[in-house]
A and B are shown apart, each in its own frame.
Chain A
Amino acid sequence: MGLLDYFATTRPPQKVGNASIAKERLQILVARDRIARDKPSYLPQLEQEILAVIRKYVEVDMNTVSVKYELAESHEVLELNIILPDSAGPP
């Protein structure tokens, strides 16, 4: 290795690797894992039963219902979002 090569190799190291991709993928994976982990196990059942009750009164499409669960510092939030059809009435 000659002197010129020495100066060539003391330039700031070039980021050649793809660790940043690994980090991005991890952040997404872990965020998803954590959401799934923190949900109470009764949630799917609760969701089904609430829907059954609502369907007694109005015809709702499953796709117009969204259920969100969030764990905050001191409390839990269960958010149920239902879009009622225009002509809501008994089925």
Chain B
Amino acid sequence: MDVGRHPNIRLLAFSELESLEGELGNFDITIRKKARYVDENRCTGCGECAEKCPTTLMDPFNLGFGESKAVYRYFAQGIPSAYTIDAANCRHLQPGKKCGICAKVCQAKAVDYTQKDQIINLNAGAVVVATGYDLFDASRICEYGYGRIEDVITSLELERLLSASGPTGGHLYRPSVLAMKKGLAVLEKRRDRLKKRLDKSTEFTRVRAEHNNKSDFTRFRTENNNKSDKNNSSKSEKKNNDKSEKSAAQILEYEKIAAEYEKIAAEYEKIEAECEKVADKIEKSSHARRIAFIQCVGSRDIRFNRHCSTFCCMHSIKEAMIAIEHDKESEVSVFGMDIRAVGKGFEQYRNRGQKQSGIRFVRSRVAEITQTEDGCPVLWYEETMDRKVKSLTVDLAVLATACQPSRGSEVLAGILGVEINESGYFRSGTLQPQDTTREGVFICGCAKGPADIPESVAQASGAAARAAQALLQQIGQPV
């Protein structure tokens, strides 16, 4: 937000670097600002469009635990606050389908389906690369069952689950339970629909009862008819005959409907029972109490990344502490080879977690995760400190996934004309940690290698200093 309002900063969101020419002090930069199909200057961020959009998708920011629409905002307090249409999923922008609802509902007339990618040319003296990192795709380690076992999740997913503004309002539900809840909601909807129809059936039963009291019914009908047919009484007799024939047919019809209603009633009862069962199951197991954290998932692993991701030990401890804060009875274990609590106050934090919150640290690398019959994850591991192969059944297994060079780093490095190192991160000088292999291009944060927040912040300031120094020296006459 500070960045968004700073007079010396121009923020180009949803944009990609196309090319970089020139040298320190004079770079020509070409940027592709991708079409968002919504005019940033007009959109007020009111959200009407998303409310009315008929296309529902998984929400990428809430990692699939929530839902979003084809016209979306990555997260609520983002800058700019304008919405963006996901062209691949929008009904209007895909051939063949016509929708156009968002354009109709937008009061600010900001929706513009014809918007094109824009090319922006800039000139700058220096470039700072801060493209961060991506997380390892945990499903690549098939023995951990991520994606197969519902209650095996990644740390980032856990963070969203624990977040007060997240999809579960900060309650630590098991994902399997969340799925059950979703299922329950569907069942309940069906149940309610049936209920409505059944309610109609009581009305029907009343009418039918009257009908069964045939004479009354016929009389009632005849009288009614007589009233309406006063002027053509000649036809009335014939009509009466017709009526009785009709009412016979009607009886049959009524019986058919009645049978159908009985079926509905039976189904209703079935679904209601099912609802109760699921609700009961949810009731029993809604909160994750037994939680295991599995460290070095995709890091320090010869098959994937050899490096240590630096921050996962700490965030697992943090998440463990929060989970325990939520529910004092949680039993939390952290499975790691070394616990790398390296940073200011980190070891103390870890000790507090161990002694006060009761986190159990197990020196081990988990070999496999299987499932019990009722769906709980089971960890198989060797506890190296007493040389025994053991198993542990938990409600939730959390994978501390590795920090990896961000996707597209190689392409970006090509465009920038800088080298990347053997781990895939941007190469920096040994003695100039914020410099890349190209003069005037600087680097900071996880683009350079895994780093935690304070280190990234410090490096960012460092890169700024290098850039300022280089530029001011170039100008020759510092201010």
The answer on A and B forming one complex is no
**B interface residues (Cβ-Cβ under 8 A, vs A):** none
